[in-house]
Amino acid sequence: MKYLDEFQDPVLAGRLFAEIDAAVTRPWALMEVCGGQTHSIMRNGIDQLLPDTVELIHGPGCPVCVTPLEMIERALEIASRPDVVFCSFGDMLRVPGRDRDLFGVKASGGDVRIVYSPLDAVAVAEAEPDRQVVFFGVGFETTAPANAMAVVQARDRGLANFSMLVSHVLVPPAIEAILSSPTSRVNGFLAAGHVCSVMGTGQYEPLADRYHVPIVVTGFEPLDVLDGIRRCILQLEEGRGEVENAYARAVQVGGNPVAKAVLAEVFEVCDRSWRGIGLIPGSGWRLTPAFADFDAERRFDVGDLTAEEPTECRAGEVLQGMIKPDQCEWFGTTCTPRTPMGATMVSSEGACAAYHQYRRVDTPVSVRRG
Amino acid sequence: MAEPWTDGTVRPAAAADIESWSCPTPAHPEQRVVMGHGGGGRLSAELVEQLFLPAFGSAASTATPTDAAVLGLPGGGRVAFTTDTYVVRPLFFPGGDIGELAVFGTVNDLAMSGATPLALSTAFVLEEGLELEVLTAVATSMGKAAMRAGVGLVTGDTKVVERGHGDGLYVNTAGIGVVPDGVDIRPGRATPGDVVLVSGPIGMHGIAVLSLREGLEFGTELQSDTAPLNALVAAMLAVDRDVHVLRDLTRGGLATSLCELADTACIGVEFEEASVPVPEAVRAGCGFLGLDPLHVANEGKLVTFVHPERADEVLEAMRSTPEGAGSEVIGRVVEDHPGVVVARTRFGSTRVVDRPLGEQLPRIC
């Protein structure tokens, strides 16, 4: 299949592995920023096939995982109201709040609906004018344009019963937070391709310059990931620290100007807490004052609702690349997808869920190259 | 946990004591049924093991729960007995409808014990206001499906619920069949060395239904694979009466079937990912929605474990039938890692294959 088969070809993968083998002269630790990349790595066993000297650290790029507990609590509070239709991407329904999740709210009679696009939620608002329709606007820069467009459409259609609970997060400040941490071991980054298809690559130039670190914009299919790793290793071995685009079929330097225009109209930068990590300055987006009427936090007066993160869960260390999921004492015993202690075990893109799904036991089968 | 009474029966009281469940659920403290309990994954299994079986006490079968129970008759011979309820939405989808599913699903549950299906019951729960035209279409489809599968629809029941209390139409079917002498098909017969075969391309039903339900299109018109598997099983038994294990692939997909078998039989399964047939439209749909084809529902496929010396004959017999034309050998039963299914990727690495927890959730990005 076009754009799938080519990027899963075992023969081409073998060549990339060989190039990586030939290039590596000493240990390197690379962080793949996006949870989609983590899953691709684990599902395809890419880490098993790399030289032992190349370590992959799994980054914080899973929107479900980093949505702060207080935002989950606000969602649960709003979704429980009898006049509300609460629309969300499916991933968010199983994320544990303090003592329940959105599935639980649904089972208790809340009108919680899975949608595939925020525009579906706008359509619900139009079809059911007597109900308050709230969309849970989570995600990185990738999902933000569609969310922004939904708010614009709601305004243009005069849908006073539509609002959005916004919990957007931004990748570059998170990379900077990791780079500036004294405990960081990361030598190079695989940046999230989909984020860059919206925002372009320009935001990463100052980071690469300031920290002299390779940042390779990388896709999600196995060969995309391998090529990203190869380019990152080559930069490190040659002493370079540059922004490089390994996902040129989707990413342009300037990003998507139409999407960026609507983002600038609808959202403004704000400080944001990341679940398990804490507050990262300037790392989020909220609605601009012009769209304040569509802000669900204001409409339902839940902005003051706060929640303490449970102290036992070590998701924060996982999200910052300080430990691997299976190095956590709760992994696979107390904490499983069935009984998650943190969102990293819930989301299909969470690093803990990926380890649990694909590496729960040491697979005893000998590894051989394609 | 259930404790024996002095009279030897099992005390069912544990069923009411939800607090004592071995796996508390912090995410669902209100202890209600959630959609995932019907998803065919881990949550469904927990409901059976931790609620139904303790509650039923000594009335429950002591045998491992399977899709069909095989019962010995007083005068000799064995019958297979099964039931299933169908709540699919939409009622009509590309390549099938709820009526056809209700017949084939129950026929297939019987066939998986090696039984020759004899007769089915049909019970309808109808929602007030349902158009008779719709009911006629479903009933007609059931008649055709029963004729294709060679079973009779011999008894039934109809109930009507108030408008708003049902999704138009639910169907329950129960079925009985006769298990031929010498046939012994059950998970416990899985033996290290057995060859694992799948009867054709996977994931078609799930993606066909999902694409229609959510208004998603993936370029190719995909039909559900809804089909009766009794003729396929008969063809397999004709060349190898000693088939060890059969399991139809339903809601949780190939991964769930293999995991359940590995778990129940306490054996390991290894398969080559590249050997599993996945249609292009299924791959596209799964790629788009972030789903794993191994987890997507099927309605006309089975997986079987057979003795390695009989594998070629069985494969040939499977391919000679319309329902098994796309059959492939995908892997082996192994002694290592009991209870765990391992896939070898096309790159030569390996990974554990797990069953989905409950419902599969389309991802954010």
**Which residue in B280, B345, B362 is closest to A1 by CB distance?**
B280
**Which residue in A90, A99, A369 is closest to B26 by CB distance?**
A99
Q: Residue B214: its chain A contacts at CB < 8 A?
A: 116
Nearest to A141 by CA among A214, A191, A181: A191
Minimal C-alpha gap between A261 and chain B (Å): 21
- A&B contacts, CB < 8 Å: 149
pLDDT of residue A220: 93
Which of B:269-298 have CB within 8 Å of A?
270, 280, 283-284, 287, 290
pLDDT at A87 over 50: yes
d(CA B121, CA A368): 52
Minimal C-alpha gap between B273 and chain A (Å): 10
**Which residue in B216, B290, B344 is closest to A348 by CB distance?**
B290
Which residue is closest to A221 within chain B, CA to CA? B287
C-beta separation of A287 from A265 below 8 A: no
Structural element, H or E, at residue A77: helix A69-79
B48 at interface of A, judged by CB pairs closer than 8 A: no
Minimal C-alpha gap between A182 and chain B (Å): 31
A44/B345 touch (CB, cutoff 8 Å), yes or no: yes
pLDDT, one tens digit per residue, over A313-366 is 888 888 777 888 999 999 988 888 878 887 788 776 788 988 888 877 655 444
A363/B284 touch (CB, cutoff 8 Å), yes or no: no
pLDDT at B16 over 90: no
Q: Give the ipTM.
A: 0.75
DSSP 8-class letter at A184: -
Q: Residue B25: its chain A contacts at CB < 8 A?
A: 338-339
Mean pLDDT of A225-234: 98
**Which residue in B25, B340, B365 is closest to A194 by CB distance?**
B365
> In terms of C-beta density within 10 A (0-12 exposed, 13-18 middle, 19 or more buried), how is residue A311 classed?
exposed
Sign of CA dihedral B335, B336, B342, B348: negative
3-state secondary structure chain B: CCCECCCCCECHHHHCCHHHCCCCCCCCCCCCCCHHHHCCCHHHHHHHHHHHHHHHHHHCCCCCCCCCEEEECCCCCEEEEEEEEECCCCCEECCEEHHHHHHHHHHHHHHCCCCEEEEEEEEEEEECCCCHHHHHHHHHHHHHHHHHHCCEEEEEEEEEECCCCCCCEEEEEEEEEEECCCCCCCHHHCCCCCEEEECCCCCHHHHHHHHHHCCCCCCCCCCCCCCCCHHHHHHHHHHCCCCCEEEECCCCHHHHHHHHHHHHHCCEEEEEHHHCCCCHHHHHHHHHHCCCHHHCCCCCCEEEEECHHHHHHHHHHHHCCHHHCCCEEEEEEECCCCCCEEEECCCCCEEEECCCCCCCCCCCC
Sign of CA dihedral B19, B24, B28, B32: negative
Structural element, H or E, at residue B174: strand B169-179
Tokens linked to A295: 């802000």
CATH number of the B69-179 domain: 3.30.1330.10
Supply the pTM of this predicted model. Answer: 0.81
B349 at interface of A, judged by CB pairs closer than 8 A: yes
Minimal C-alpha gap between A160 and chain B (Å): 26
pLDDT of residue B359: 55
Quickly state the pLDDT bin for B290 (edges 50, 70, 90): confident
Structural element, H or E, at residue A112: strand A111-114
pLDDT at B195 over 70: yes
Q: What is the distance, to the nearest Å, from the Cα of residue B173 to the centroid of all Cα atoms in its chain?
A: 14
Tokens 């989808």 -> residue? B93
What is the share, in percent, of chain A residues with pLDDT greater than 70?
96
B365/A63 touch (CB, cutoff 8 Å), yes or no: yes
Tokens 């084809």 -> residue? B293
pLDDT of residue B13: 31
Q: Which of B89, B267, B347 to mutate to test the interface with A (most CBs of A within 10 A)?
A: B347
Q: Dihedral through CA A277, CA A278, CA A280, CA A284, nearest 10?
A: 90
pLDDT at B12 over 50: no
**Which residue in A91, A96, A359 is closest to B26 by CB distance?**
A96
More confident residue, B213 or A147: A147
Helix (H, G, I), strand (E, B) or coil at B73: coil
pLDDT of residue B21: 31
d(CA A69, CA A99): 11
Q: Which of A358, A359, A362 to mutate to test the interface with B (most CBs of B within 10 A)?
A: A358
d(CA B39, CA B252): 7
pLDDT of residue B284: 85
Mean pLDDT of B28-49: 73
A1/B283 touch (CB, cutoff 8 Å), yes or no: yes
Tokens 């796996």 -> residue? B23
Alpha-carbon separation of residue A325 from A16, A342, B221 (angstroms)? 27, 12, 41
Which residue is closest to B281 within chain A, CA to CA? A1
Q: Which of B34, B267, B271, B365 to mutate to test the interface with A (most CBs of A within 10 A)?
A: B365
Mean pLDDT of B15-38: 49
**Which residue in A10, A90, A108 is closest to B32 by CB distance?**
A108
B29 at interface of A, judged by CB pairs closer than 8 A: yes
Helix (H, G, I), strand (E, B) or coil at B249: coil
pLDDT of residue B172: 97
B363/A92 touch (CB, cutoff 8 Å), yes or no: no
C-beta separation of A43 from A363 below 8 A: no
Q: What domains are defined for chain A?
A: 6-63+174-245 (3.40.50.11750)
C-beta separation of B199 from B301 below 8 A: yes
Q: Where in chain B is the domain with CATH 3.90.650.10?
A: 187-353
Q: Residue A363: its chain B contacts at CB < 8 A?
A: 337, 342, 350-352
Mean pLDDT of B324-330: 98
pLDDT, one tens digit per residue, over A185-201 is 899 999 999 999 999 99
**Which residue in A101, A348, A361 is closest to B340 by CB distance?**
A361
pLDDT at A3 over 70: no
d(CA B293, CA B309): 30
B361/A91 touch (CB, cutoff 8 Å), yes or no: yes
Q: Residue B283: its chain A contacts at CB < 8 A?
A: 1, 4
Q: Where in chain B is the domain with CATH 3.30.1330.10?
A: 69-179
Phi/psi for B276 (5° steps) reads -80, 120
B363/A106 touch (CB, cutoff 8 Å), yes or no: no
Minimal C-alpha gap between B180 and chain A (Å): 38
pLDDT at A16 over 80: yes
B299 at interface of A, judged by CB pairs closer than 8 A: no
Hey, what CATH topology would domain B187-353 get? Phosphoribosyl-aminoimidazole Synthetase; Chain A, domain 2 (3.90.650)
pLDDT at A127 over 70: yes
Structural element, H or E, at residue A147: helix A144-156
Which residue is closest to A143 within chain B, CA to CA? B365
Quickly state the pLDDT bin for B357 (edges 50, 70, 90): low
A363/B352 touch (CB, cutoff 8 Å), yes or no: yes
As a whole number, the mean pLDDT across chain A is 90
pLDDT, one tens digit per residue, over A149-164 is 999 999 999 999 999 9
pLDDT of residue B17: 30
Can you name the residues that pair with B198 across neighbouring β-strands?
A: B303, B328
Nearest to A32 by CA among A190, A215, A213: A190
B216 at interface of A, judged by CB pairs closer than 8 A: yes
Q: Residue A369: its chain B contacts at CB < 8 A?
A: 347-348
Q: Please, which residues have CB within 8 angstroms of residue A181's CB and are 6 or more apart in sequence?
A: A320
Tokens linked to A234: 């080559």
